[in-house]
Amino acid sequence: MDVLFRNVRELVERAKTENKLISEIMIEQEMLITDRSREEIMKQMDRNLTVMEEAVEKGLKGVRSTSGLTGGDAVLIQNYMKKGNTLSGELLLDAVSKAVATNEVNAAMGTICATPTAGSAGVVPGTLFAVIHKLNPTREQMINYLFTSGAFGFVVANNASISGAAGGCQAEVGSAAGMAAAAITEMAGGTPQQCSEAFAITLKNMLGLVCDPVAGLVEVPCVKRNAMGAANALVAADMALAGVTSRIPCDEVIDAMYKIGQTMPTALKETAQGGLAATPTGRWLEAKIFGGAVVGREQ
């Protein structure tokens, strides 16, 4: 299959040579791969954006999962922000709350847009719907934000993994956070190279993150990991925009993530056999939800 880029180096070089945004290169690649018109591709991404927006809005009203493990935290964060004495700052916490809101909707069996997976679906929209209040983008620029995210997700999916079962949570929330960081950087006026630096800075600080869902459900610790992924993305974007670079090139960071995932024990890759899932409380919650024998904690 002919493509315009296969890795981040080719993506950045093409964007520089043609003096285009990364989002534009991704749109052109979609047109090439799918043989569809620009209008069709833009409409589809516009629909994705609407789904994301609706999920955030629903989550911020308060939802609760069937298991009872998650729900309501996005509302708590928004209420805390209204007090006006936060430590992290309003923009960062707004992104965190909206990332949490999206994943709480996912856990409550609502409709979300996988970016790149359902378990990591909060980071990209969470950051997007927070930074728009500062950057004031047009609808088209918001759609482009998703194409920029998608360009980096395309590279990771084809050169490493976006699956927790294959590569741990580094492959899911780590990838999502990198995608968001790159998109934030472009929307804020950064260069294609700075987008690459933001992605690399983000992902290399999430390497080794395991996938250990309590009771095998995409709730604990998944929802709060999306929160931290959103925070990581914003900080990395600021660093890249400040001129900070990653000493390890972006493609090498992605390759390192892949190799770490390959050597990660099966117990730490979405099997609920290790990590937080194997703690006494994790096992107690699993038994409580599924009706098994409760061990390791008083009822």
Neighbours of 61 (CB within 10 A): 11
For residue 64, the cross-strand partners are 71
Whether the predicted pLDDT of 118 surpasses 80: yes
- The DSSP secondary-structure symbol of 173 reads I
pLDDT in tens, 31-41: 999 999 999 99
Fold of 8-289: 2-methylcitrate dehydratase PrpD (1.10.4100)
- 71 is written with which tokens? 């729900």
CA gap 9, 211 in Å, rounded: 29
pLDDT in tens, 225-265: 999 999 999 999 999 999 999 999 999 999 999 999 999 99
Residue 293: the pLDDT is 59
- Cα angle value 157/106/176 (rounded, 5°): 30
The closest alpha carbon to 179, from 210, 155, 163, belongs to: 155
Residue 210: the pLDDT is 98
* Whole-model pTM over 0.85: yes
Residue 295: the pLDDT is 53
Model confidence at 2, pLDDT cuts 50, 70, 90, reads: confident
Does residue 221 have a cis peptide bond before it, meaning omega lies within 30 degrees of 0? Answer: yes
Instruction: Characterize 170-186 residue by residue with b for buried, 16 or more Cβ atoms within 10 angstroms of its Cβ, and e for exposed.
Output: bbbbbbbbbbbbbbbbb
CA gap 83, 92 in Å, rounded: 15
